[in-house]
Structure 1
């Protein structure tokens, strides 16, 4: 193969390379932020392989292309930065329901005891076990249920709503992300509110009983009652908590569409 033929082949592959690279630039933040595409638990090599596979699919099968040919290296760098910024916003939105589950679990452990399992002798750590359980449970329910294709289609459909290189960091998109982040925080507080109320009721009852019978030394019963009572209430209400979190996941498709509309 001569040098001229090789250069001709590289020029022919140029638009394809640009499209795959820009698709990958948008998908990389999503893969590192959203647990459905990898998140923090999956090795980086697996996430990058998934990003490359999705980018090739989007370009070769879905026909995602760069609308305007990239002439200079500066233009290409600006397009990459745009795609990274928009992909970060999409990844944050896609990860919000799962972050709400983790926040709710940490809120529960905060009232049961910081962390509740750390109050047990030689049997716990300072990490939030309930937060990790709710987080992993939500991921498992989404993946094994019917919501995973909905979320994935909402993410990939964004390439049709916002073409490559066309995203604009607007005030409407920023406000949308901030509002949804506040909604996720409210969801996390709502998930932990029943157990927090039960823990406060236990503290109130122990305090009143200690005042009524100070000779019984009931203060030592506070921590075990919070752990056991909060755990029992969590076990009984885990179905309701998951339904609330799954509703947040189901609303992701519309939220991603609104983000795309505000970023064009």
Structure 2
């Protein structure tokens, strides 16, 4: 009798477990890719707990669930794989503005000398200080500036637009993600272009000065001038750089809306 009661309880909870598992399958790549929900900085246990919490909220409070019962484990595995693929696309779109900030900072430090710290003897590492700085600054501005609910609502609204198990991979959606990735790379290059031009100007002036006065040793001044000049330009233009990057964050909601329409 107890076994029959337990079997009845399992059959009753089965659809709820499947719905929560599919919600978690879509949210898992988003949480691991988007820095606003954890990204690479948060511990894995925290990200997994966030995925479970949001999945339970979506199913129990928002009423997100599967439209048809899942009969076999093979069907469940196929639905989980489909949700993970769609969630990866959503996570990539949500993370692209922040990746653009990191790419722009690395582009700046590439022209300054791989990194500002590595150009100095016996100091620093080979990491990009400007890239990590712009990345963390953008995350801080989004969280404190009111754009975080916009991105989060765009991610969660997708569960109402694309029901669980209903995502359809298409060539248009794949090309759209690739186009957005190219736009993020272009934004990163645009962020670093003024500083790169300034560094090249400094190198040109140092080269002409060395040709004009060969008796003066100016080779040791190149690296410090690139570091100080590029750093000064980044400090003076950080407001303009952040506005350009925040514009990409504002466009995430519209991009997620288009992605949802394409995946239905």
Moved more, 197-206 or 121-130: 121-130
What is the distance in 1 between the residues matched to 2:87 and 2:65? Answer: 17
What is the distance in 1 between the residues matched to 2:114 and 2:45? Answer: 35
CA deviations 1:67-115 (Å, max 9, x no partner) are 1110111111100000000000000111100000000000000001111
TM-score (norm 2): 0.99
CA deviations 1:39-82 (Å, max 9, x no partner) are 01111110000000000000011110101110111111100000
Residue 124 of structure 1 and its aligned partner are, at CA, apart by 1.2
Secondary structure at 1:122's aligned position in 2? coil
The residue that corresponds to 1:209 in the other structure is 209
TM-score (norm 1): 0.99
Residue 122 of structure 1 and its aligned partner are, at CA, apart by 2.1
What is the distance in 1 between the residues matched to 2:180 and 2:195? Answer: 24
1:258 aligns with 2:239: no
The residue that corresponds to 2:131 in the other structure is 131
The residue that corresponds to 1:28 in the other structure is 28
The residue that corresponds to 2:8 in the other structure is 8
What is the distance in 1 between the residues matched to 2:210 and 2:68? Answer: 75
What is the distance in 2 between the residues matched to 1:23 and 1:188? Answer: 32
- Unaligned segments of structure 2, at least 5 residues: none
Alignment of 1:221-260 (within 5 A): 221-260=221-260
What is the distance in 2 between the residues matched to 1:95 and 1:253? Answer: 12
The residue that corresponds to 1:64 in the other structure is 64
- Unaligned segments of structure 1, at least 5 residues: none
Secondary structure at 2:15's aligned position in 1? helix
What is the distance in 2 between the residues matched to 1:31 and 1:155? Answer: 10
How many aligned positions are there? 264
Residue 116 of structure 1 and its aligned partner are, at CA, apart by 1.9
What is the distance in 2 between the residues matched to 1:179 and 1:29? Answer: 20
Residue 146 of structure 1 and its aligned partner are, at CA, apart by 0.7
